[in-house]
Amino acid sequence: MRQVNVFYLNEGEILAHPILDANGRILLTSGVKLTNLYIHKLQVLGVDTVLIEDDRLDDVAIQMAITPRTKESAYKAVKGVRYCIETNRLIRSNELKDMLKRMISDLLSFEGILGYISDFRGYDDFMFHHSVNTTIFALVLGMANKYSEAKLLELGLGVLMHDVGKVKIPNVLLNKLEKLTDEEFTEIKQHSKYGFEILRKIDDFGLISAHVALQHHERWDGSGYPRGLKGTAIHEYARLAALSDVYEALTSKRVYRDAIQPYQAYEYITGHSGILFEPSLINILSTRIAIYPEGSGVILNNGMYGNVVKQNVGYPDRPHVRMFYQADELLQPPVDYNLMEHPSLLITGSENR
Ligand SMILES: [Fe+2]
Ligand SMILES: [Fe+2]
């Protein structure tokens, strides 16, 4: 299995993993042989990379932390809440809680490293994927902090709904391509307060979940909003939400920019440890996420190009790799490295071709 940018796909290649649309529906299922028409459609839809079968990497397995069924019910639940808010209907939290319980049990039985969180690589209009994926990251951080199921549920509800206040912000603002004016940015910033107002009125949600929405843009050094809270004055769930939110947002496509690679997002986050984010959470994240997921393409400082085969837990930048090219020349046979055993070899870039 290999991760490939849609602009490098060839006719006849076989999908190793389904591709979903923004609503969580399957566009193309795994096992499908790609035609030029399919490839063109994927490019037009804005999908950036897909996973394809590759005999040379058939020992590479994709481990999805969340089952497709749980994911689908998560999208449905988030969409359902949005519909209720827009039509002034009562929000019932039972369905959300049942879904979160399934998500928690999936994550508890998953012992791997989070690599491919999302089956969707395009642009996510209504942030359904953003909400669900951010929740997955936050729950993983909560589990590493040994939260009880009750705490995980509270955290999960809050993170799932952290951006719910955006329903009150006009779409033209949220999807604006040009730089926002100061007034527009001030308006967008209101979404955390709007979210708090919406959530605190839902009886069985609990006020803490509402506070996650209110505080998810607060930053460790006090530079966030709306209140400029600092350090542990920010609710612990909101600290988890803040880190998960930023990591997810950076690694996904937005209407005004492309997704950045996980390792670049990781560099940004570690570079802001103790400034924007709580340092201990970054340490946890570094042991639980794959910044070079299995199957992704990497370039080494010796000029070789190949793909990631396996993770080394706790060392996200030093996985097992299989190299196929030296510059443009095919290596026969390919060369395997466990980067833990080759301290002089470094990954200098990532490219999915
Ligand atoms: Fe937000
Ligand atoms: Fe967000």
330 class by beta-carbon count within 10 Å (0-12 exposed, 13-18 middle, 19+ buried) = exposed
The Cα 176–Cα 150 span in angstroms is 39
What single-letter amino acid sits at 58? Answer: D
Verify that 23 and 72 share a domain, yes or no: no
Residue finishing a domain among 239, 269, 288: 288
Compute, in angstroms, the gap from residue 243 CA to the centroid of ligand 2. 10
- Neighbouring residues of 163: CB distance < 8 A, sequence distance ≥ 6: 127, 130, 131, 191, 195, 213, 216
Answer yes or no: do 48 and 113 share one domain: no
pLDDT tens by residue, 198-224: 999 988 888 999 999 999 999 999 999
Residue 62 lies in a domain: no
Expressed in angstroms and rounded, the spacing between residue 188 Cα and the centre of ligand 1 is 9
The answer to whether position 105 is within a domain reads: yes
Supply the range of the domain harboring residue 142: 68-288
Residue spans of the chain under pLDDT 50: none
Q: Which of 257, 288, 319 delimits the end of a domain?
A: 288
Q: Phi-psi region for residue 182, left (φ > 0), alpha (ψ -120 to 50) or beta?
A: alpha
- Whether 196 and 223 map to the same domain: the answer is yes
Least distant ligand from the CA of 214? 1
Q: According to the model, what pLDDT value does residue 267 have?
A: 93
What's the pLDDT score for residue 10? Answer: 96
Ligand nearest to the CA of residue 244, numbered in listed order: 2
* Residue 12 falls inside a structural domain: yes
Expressed in angstroms and rounded, the spacing between residue 219 Cα and the centre of ligand 2 is 14
Of 268, 288, 308, the domain-final residue? 288
Pair 248, 120: CB distance under 8 Å = no
CA of 198 from ligand 1 middle (Å) equals 14
> What was the pLDDT predicted at 124?
63
> 62 alpha carbon to ligand 2 midpoint, in Å?
26
Residues with CB under 5 A from ligand 1 (ion): 163
**What pLDDT is stored for residue 69 in this prediction?**
81
Strand partners, 277: 273
Ligand lying nearest the CA atom of residue 159: 2
Q: For 90-148, what is each residue's pLDDT tens digit?
A: 888 888 999 999 999 999 988 778 877 666 555 666 578 899 999 999 999 999 999 99
| Lookup result for tokens 């992704």 | 296
Cα separation values, 14 from 1, 96, 245, Å: 10, 35, 33
Query: Which CATH number is 124's domain given?
Result: 1.10.3210.10
Q: Is 255 helix (H, G, I), strand (E, B) or coil?
A: coil
Domain count, the chain: 3
Same-domain pairing of 17 and 96: no
Instruction: Kindly identify the ligand whose nearest atom is closest to the C-alpha of 127.
Output: 2
What is the whole-number distance in angstroms between the Cα of residue 36 and the centre of ligand 1? 38
Q: What is the mean pLDDT of the chain?
A: 91
The alpha carbon of 27 and the centre of ligand 1 are apart by a number of angstroms equal to 28
Ligand positioned closest to the Cα atom of 191:
1
CA 284–ligand 1 middle distance (angstroms): 22
Supply the pLDDT for residue 25.
Answer: 76
Whether 102 and 237 map to the same domain: the answer is: yes
43 and 120 co-located in one domain: no
Report CA(192)–ligand 1 centroid distance (Å).
Answer: 6
Within a domain: 63: no
* pLDDT value of position 164: 93
